[in-house]
Structure 1
Amino acid sequence: MKTTMKSIATAAIMAVATPAFAGGVTVAEEGDSKLKLEALLFLNTYSQKAQTITAATTTTTKTVGMAVDRAYFTAKYFMNDDWMMRITLDAGNDPSLAGKKQNVFLKAAYLEGKLAGDALVLRVGQSHTPWIDYEQGLWKHRYASQVFTDKYKFDDSFDLGFGLKGSLADGMVKYFVTETNGTGYGNAARANSVDLNARIGLYPVKGLTLDFQFRDGKRGTKTSTVQGVKSQLMQAMLSYGTDDFRLGGNYIRNKDKAVDATGSVRHGGNVRSGYITAVAGDVAKNNAFAVWGWAKFGGGFGAFARYENMNTKLNNAATKEKLARYMGGIEYTVTKGVTFALVADSTKLKNVNGVSTDINKDTRFGLFTQVAL
């Protein structure tokens, strides 16, 4: 391929070294095709205090320091205006590793092509699921916090399979439907069933979004000998904003039903639920809502905040787990692609595993940094 910028190597070095190129840089072109490189870093330094409180004792764990929460490197090759491919590598901390705790793995590897213009677009491979990446685009502060269904493990941001998406009625209606393995990109294994995941969005006036999600499947728990856990997620989200602010709210319902003696996903973010399925017939239900917003003040300054609330119930237990989370921050964009934020984040889970005296708390504050190419 002939390059239009001295060489691919020179262009890549310039891109990494120069934050002004935030948003990616085209390093090679030939005819209708082009190669684009992108990078994204989350460099977060914070203090954390985690508390486990029971009737008898209180256990407190304190940590402080920096974490490279995420380092993404993406290459996108556009064959023409209709077809493209993408590969993304993801580096992050993996506590499950026996030796070194930092791991590099494949985040995205997919082919995308327009079958009928913007009305019908095909995705094949390891790709975005319909919801999480979309909501992150509205929230715009992934470096400080994941969106609700991602943080509490109701959905995976990427999965393996195929999907169809499109824009209809002059952009007033958009959809994205996938059939995937259900295991998520972190596992990437095949199972004995596939999962349905879908989003439909309505955009009646400029700035207003109304979206609905439905997800149904076994999330990779079904095999030839195990029936697994049937999970069903429904979500609605309303938001309104401009280039300078956005306010949004989500309502989420999830049900995990064990078809046999299989444990369900332990939902949680900074603290995790004690309620999971264990024997055939167990049902864990979650009802939750989130409100969030952000605004730009000018001069590179801005602010953002989230409030999340969730109740979790196992079978007919009289006591529900109750979770509440508050987080917010003040940010400053130094130059295009480089943003610093002072962030405070507090989560409290009451009635852990149905015990009224048991409480888990997590409090964090620090300097969060995003660097985008």
Structure 2
Amino acid sequence: MNSYRLALLIAMVFLFGLLHGQTDKKSLDSLLLTDLTIDMQWFLAHQIGENDGEKFNEFTLKRGYVNIKKGISEKLSGRITTDLTVDEEGDGKGDIEIRLKYLYLKYQLEKFLFFHQPHFEFGLVHRPWIDFEQSVNDYRVEGQMFLERNDMINSADFGVVFMALLGDELDEEYQKNINDDFPGKYGSFSLGVFNGGGYHALENNNNKTLESRLTLRPLYQVFPGLQFTYHAALGRGNIEAEPHWHYQSAYLSLETRYSVVTLEGYNGKGNYKGTAIQDTLSYSAVPQKGYSVFGEAKLFNSAISLIGRYDDFSLAYNSGTQRTQRFITGVAYHFYKGSKIVVDYERIRYRNSATDDDYVLELALELRF
């Protein structure tokens, strides 16, 4: 069964469950439309560059998301998100693939202790880190975040996750002018257990991955945009040999009405795919470390942004260190509910290697509606 048919089948089962989960005698239209939201996010681009010594010049679909959310009861809701992308490696290379990124039930709990808006997601769910990072660095249209781009982690997976804000929400002014994601006065928290292979991979072993994130906002009264985050994960690589992997990372983010600055430091061993190994005899994990710096300056009442990012990532193989540097710079024009046009340039430098640099110059459009 191809991905499109699978997505359609799951959507039909989901809607069927919603209809039969109602206890009153509402009409079919009311059942389908009450507390239902549909939104979309598209990443389209034209790119010119060079990769592995081959030049390219192409229009492309980087991503296309369709989100369907439905309230089932006061505490229970569901979400399905389809992910459209170009198949770059499979049997249908060049085809547009439709796969699921999220399909979960969300159960909202009552506030307790210092946990505000606590809830569980079960199914194909958010993992703790990437969703948070992308709420600070809002330029996924340019490319993946630091750890995901270096195959350390994935943004979604099959499993269960618990999330909550720490304390009540920040005031409306902060949420309107700076950031309304994860607006806990003292921070936020997330902890989950997952298959480990990511949302677009089969489960190739019987082990599970544990991932967590703790974000603290120490000066919410005077500097609410300052946050400190510690996040970590451990598990076994998603191959039959099951090599151990783990990482830990510290993240500093500073958001104001006119700027965003982030700094992340990372170290670990192996990766979730099971590909960061010394050899296929011992399957021992490769030590890794790195850091990433991102900055955004917002100009002309936040209509224009200047962005820059630098990633430095190293793997310590027995045969020698493999180090990659990534330089990104660009300018963005913002319009309509977070939509933006971005012109950016990215160069990847392979240190300790004779491999030539890769680079790409692109005009990208992110459309949210």
Same fold (TM over 0.5): yes
Deviations 1:237-284 (A, max 9, x none): 0011123321000001120299xxxx9325xxxxxxxx7542215331
Q: Are residue 208 (structure 1) and residue 226 (structure 2) matched?
A: yes
The answer to whether the Cα contact below 8 Å between 1:264 and 1:276 also exists between their aligned partners in 2 is no
TM-score normalised by L of structure 2? 0.79
1: distance between equivalents of 2:228 and 2:280?
36
Q: Are residue 73 (structure 1) and residue 66 (structure 2) matched?
A: yes
Q: Are residue 127 (structure 1) and residue 141 (structure 2) matched?
A: no
- Structure in which a larger fraction of residues adopt strand: 1
The answer to whether the Cα contact below 8 Å between 1:33 and 1:80 also exists between their aligned partners in 2 is no
Deviations 1:317-369 (A, max 9, x none): 4x3112111101111124445311111000011224xxxxx224211112111
1: distance between equivalents of 2:244 and 2:342?
39
Q: How many equivalent residue pairs?
A: 315
What is the CA-CA distance between 1:113 and the residue it aligns to?
1.2
Deviations 1:180-212 (A, max 9, x none): 100110114363111101111101120011111
Deviating above 4 A after TM superposition, structure 1's stretches of 4 or more consecutive aligned residues are 28-33
Task: Give the number of the structure with larger relative contact order, counting CA–CA contacts within 8 Å between residues 6 or more apart.
Answer: 1
Question: Which segments of 5 or more consecutive residues in structure 2 lack a partner in the other structure?
Answer: 1-28, 169-183
2: distance between equivalents of 1:372 and 1:69?
14
1:134-173 map, 5 Å? 134-170=132-168, 171=184, 172-173=186-187
The verdict on how the C-alpha distance between 1:29 and 1:308 changes in structure 2, with shifts beyond 3 A counting, is: farther
Q: Are residue 312 (structure 1) and residue 325 (structure 2) matched?
A: no
Aligned match of 2:275: 265
Residue type at the aligned position of 1:138: V
2: distance between equivalents of 1:31 and 1:93?
31
For the residue of structure 2 that corresponds to 1:104, the secondary structure is strand
Q: Are residue 254 (structure 1) and residue 268 (structure 2) matched?
A: yes
TM-score normalised by L of structure 1? 0.79
2: distance between equivalents of 1:140 and 1:232?
26
1:276-355 map, 5 Å? 276-280=278-282, 282-298=284-300, 300-315=303-318, 317=319, 319-352=320-353
Aligned match of 1:102: 96
The answer to whether the Cα contact below 8 Å between 2:130 and 2:145 also exists between their aligned partners in 1 is yes
The answer to whether the Cα contact below 8 Å between 2:45 and 2:364 also exists between their aligned partners in 1 is yes
Deviations 1:21-78 (A, max 9, x none): xxxxxxx877995000010000011101135xxxxxxxx3100011101011010112
CA RMSD of aligned residues (A): 2.4
What is the CA-CA distance between 1:146 and the residue it aligns to?
1.6
The answer to whether the Cα contact below 8 Å between 1:192 and 1:220 also exists between their aligned partners in 2 is no
Q: Are residue 236 (structure 1) and residue 250 (structure 2) matched?
A: yes
The answer to whether the Cα contact below 8 Å between 1:264 and 1:277 also exists between their aligned partners in 2 is no
2: distance between equivalents of 1:165 and 1:173?
11
Question: Which segments of 5 or more consecutive residues in structure 1 lack a partner in the other structure?
Answer: 1-27, 52-59, 267-274, 353-357
For the residue of structure 1 that corresponds to 2:147, the secondary structure is helix
Aligned match of 1:362: 358
For the residue of structure 2 that corresponds to 1:359, the secondary structure is coil
Report the identity percentage: 21
What is the CA-CA distance between 1:158 and the residue it aligns to?
0.4
2: distance between equivalents of 1:360 and 1:122?
46
The verdict on how the C-alpha distance between 1:248 and 1:81 changes in structure 2, with shifts beyond 3 A counting, is: farther
